[in-house]
């Protein structure tokens, strides 16, 4: 982003805080608002163009599939479910991670969450939309989709999928919008009426005349707490219902009681990984290094590794119990040592071993290490879901001839388009809305974001920012209390 003529005075918080806090607030506002109202760079335009073309190619492939049928995507009598249901589960799963991380950290009062919440909630919003759209290529007759809510069949898992996902989309939109209200007021003031009147009016409407007084804050905080409480069980239910769409189908390998928690943990695991990937990309691309720091990555990395271990446990539990009885375990042989062995062991290497090693080894426990681990987890979990879907679906129920599924250019193009839609959606979203949760970051104070400028950073900058000194010397926040997460502690005492 290029520098623009922003209303510099509006960036400053002239509310009687100390110089350090003023400088901090101005930095936050500048970093958050610049991508929104500044001019876009050539790299941004190029990225959006390329990503947009990929998405258009995916839409074109879907139109081709509508014309030629699901067979053009590799579907056949045996492989009646394949890549698109994997995409639905994956995209809605990663959305779950973003929403739940934000909600849990909000409920538990983790002040370090502040620079991440907007990105996490934005990721949840964009990915749930894409995941919901992936239901359409999955359907053989998508024009009949409207019949699901009209001709209600409560015995059908599809009906409950529809209900759960639509409720979750509504919750995600509200959960994204409400913390945005104070920021809309800030952006509105910064933008000024003369610059872009249309945008000014939209921001003004979205800001709901926010003035930031105590009663407004109390109301917004209460409502956000309630939504956070709702969104966690809601997300659990969405993924459980998705799992039951499999588990209530009478096929070996699917009809298992472990499936709902199995899917929920996979969603959390891959969702946390995607938040790390998105945070890493936007940190670099939008110059948020000062706010999203090594500490954030390592904490998210710990959460991701813990979820990875739980997921490994559930994978073993799934394979062991059915493999031991051996009654319908042909799919297990195919998974571990048969035709699906390569993708399965790819998941083990990239989705379990690599992230745990990268988190465990101190040398790799850094931003780059966590990003590499997260990229690996996101890819590996998609592959793992392929392994969950295809072996059971292609296992013969009568006779011994296994079905086959071959990827085609149609299914690959549509899937890649879905992947490209994530950065595209986020870039467009944060072209109009602040990439950081400004108000929340100011409320949390510096410690929520500044890693309290590590020694390396200090050495690199060769000068210590005013707020770093302030923090290191037991500075108390402007709202009159010490932050709960170690604010006021000297930098060396902040342990990762």
Residues found near other proteins in the complex (CB under 8 A):
13-16, 154-155, 163, 167, 170-171, 174, 177-178, 181-183, 185-186, 188-189, 207-220, 223, 226-227, 230, 234, 438-439, 442-443, 478-479
* Least Å from the CB of residue 403 to other proteins: 27
Helix (H) or strand (E) holding 162: helix 157-177
Tokens describing residue 228: 């956070």
Residue bearing tokens 């998705």: 242
Rounded to the nearest 10 degrees, the angle between the axes of helix 409-432 and helix 19-37 is 130
Q: Residue 288: CB partners within 8 Å, gap ≥ 6?
A: 31, 115, 282, 435, 436
Q: Are 273 and 228 in contact (CB under 8 A)?
A: no
CB nearer to other proteins: pick between 169 and 383: 169
Two structure tokens written together for 27: 């930095």
Are the CB atoms for 168 and 118 separated by under 8 Å?
Answer: no
| Alpha-carbon gap, residue 335 to 342, rounded angstroms | 8
CB 368 within 8 A of CB 43: no
User: From the CB of 10, what's the least distance to other proteins, in Å?
Assistant: 9
In the bound state with other proteins, the residue whose beta carbon lies nearer, of 183 and 318, is 183
Q: Report DSSP state, residue 194.
A: T
Q: Which is nearer to other proteins, 156 or 366 (CB)?
A: 156
Q: How far is CA 247 from the centre of its chain?
A: 26
282 close to 314: Cβ distance less than 8 angstroms: no
* Separation in Å, CA 214 to CA 186, 219, 221, 223: 17, 9, 10, 14
Q: Decide whether 30 or 333 has the Cβ nearer to other proteins.
A: 30
CB of 208 to other proteins, least distance (A): 4
Nearest to other proteins of 218, 284 (CB atom): 218
Nearest distance from residue 247's CB to other proteins, in Å? 16
In angstroms, what is the minimal distance from the CB of 356 to other proteins? Answer: 36
**Nearest approach, Cβ of residue 187 and other proteins (Å):** 9
For residue 23, the minimal CB distance to other proteins (Å) is 15
Q: Are 73 and 409 in contact (CB under 8 A)?
A: no
DSSP string, 427-488: HHHHHHS-SS-HHHHHHH-GGGT-----HHHHHHHTS--HHHHHHHTTPPPTTSS--TTTTT
**Minimum distance of other proteins from residue 136's CB (angstroms):** 23
* Shorter beta-carbon distance to other proteins: residue 247 or 389: 247
Half-sphere exposure of 286 (CA within 13 A, CB side): 29
Minimum CB separation from other proteins for residue 15, in Å? 4
Cα 406 from chain centroid? Answer: 29
Nearer CB in complex with other proteins: 2/218: 218
Nearer of residues 461 and 479 to other proteins, judged by Cβ: 479
Q: Which is nearer to other proteins, 165 or 314 (CB)?
A: 165
């Amino acid at each position: 982003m290029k520098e623009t003529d922003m209303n510099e005075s509006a960036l400053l918080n002239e509310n009687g805080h100390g110089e350090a806090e003023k400088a901090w607030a101005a930095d936050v506002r500048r970093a958050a608002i610049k991508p929104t109202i500044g001019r876009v760079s050539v790299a941004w335009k190029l990225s959006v163009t390329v990503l947009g073309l990929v998405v258009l190619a995916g839409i074109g492939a879907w139109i081709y599939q509508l014309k030629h049928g699901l067979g053009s995507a590799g579907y056949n009598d045996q492989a009646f479910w394949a890549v698109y249901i994997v995409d639905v589960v994956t995209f809605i799963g990663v959305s779950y991670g973003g929403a739940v991380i934000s909600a849990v950290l909000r409920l538990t009062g983790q002040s370090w969450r502040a620079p991440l919440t907007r990105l996490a909630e934005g990721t949840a919003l964009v990915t749930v939309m894409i995941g919901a759209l992936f239901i359409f290529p999955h359907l053989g007759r998508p024009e009949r989709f409207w019949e699901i809510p009209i001709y209600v069949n409560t015995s059908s898992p599809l009906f409950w999928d529809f209900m759960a996902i639509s409720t979750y989309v509504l919750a995600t939109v509200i959960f994204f919008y409400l913390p945005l209200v104070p920021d809309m007021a800030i952006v509105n003031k910064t933008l000024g009426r003369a610059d872009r009147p249309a945008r000014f009016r939209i921001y003004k409407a979205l800001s709901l005349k926010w003035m930031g007084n105590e009663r407004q804050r109390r109301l917004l905080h209460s409502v956000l707490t309630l939504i956070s409480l709702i969104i966690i069980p809601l997300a659990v239910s969405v993924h459980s219902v998705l799992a039951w769409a499999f588990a209530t189908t009478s096929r070996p390998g699917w009809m298992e009681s472990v499936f709902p928690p199995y899917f929920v943990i996979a969603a959390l695991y891959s969702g946390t990984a995607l938040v790390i990937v998105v945070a890493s990309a936007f940190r670099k691309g939008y110059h948020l290094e000062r706010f999203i720091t090594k500490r954030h990555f390592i904490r998210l990395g710990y959460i991701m590794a813990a979820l990875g271990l739980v997921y490994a446990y559930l994978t073993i539990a799934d394979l062991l119990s059915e493999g031991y009885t051996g009654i319908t375990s042909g799919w297990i042989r195919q998974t571990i040592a048969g035709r699906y062995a390569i993708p399965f062991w790819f998941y083990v290497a990239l989705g379990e071993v690599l992230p745990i090693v990268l988190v465990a080894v101190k040398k790799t426990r850094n931003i780059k290490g966590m990003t590499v681990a997260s990229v690996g987890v996101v890819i590996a979990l998609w592959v793992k879901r392929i392994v969950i879907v295809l072996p059971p679906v292609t296992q013969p129920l009568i006779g011994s001839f296994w079905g086959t599924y071959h990827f085609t250019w149609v299914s690959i193009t549509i899937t890649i388009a879905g992947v490209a839609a994530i950065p595209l959606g986020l870039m467009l979203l944060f072209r109009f809305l602040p990439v950081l949760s400004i108000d929340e970051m100011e409320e949390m104070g510096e410690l929520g974001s500044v890693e309290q400028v590590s020694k390396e950073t200090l050495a690199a900058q060769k000068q210590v920012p005013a707020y770093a000194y302030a923090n290191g010397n037991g500075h108390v926040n402007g709202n009159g209390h010490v932050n709960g997460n170690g604010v006021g502690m000297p930098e060396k005492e902040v342990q990762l």
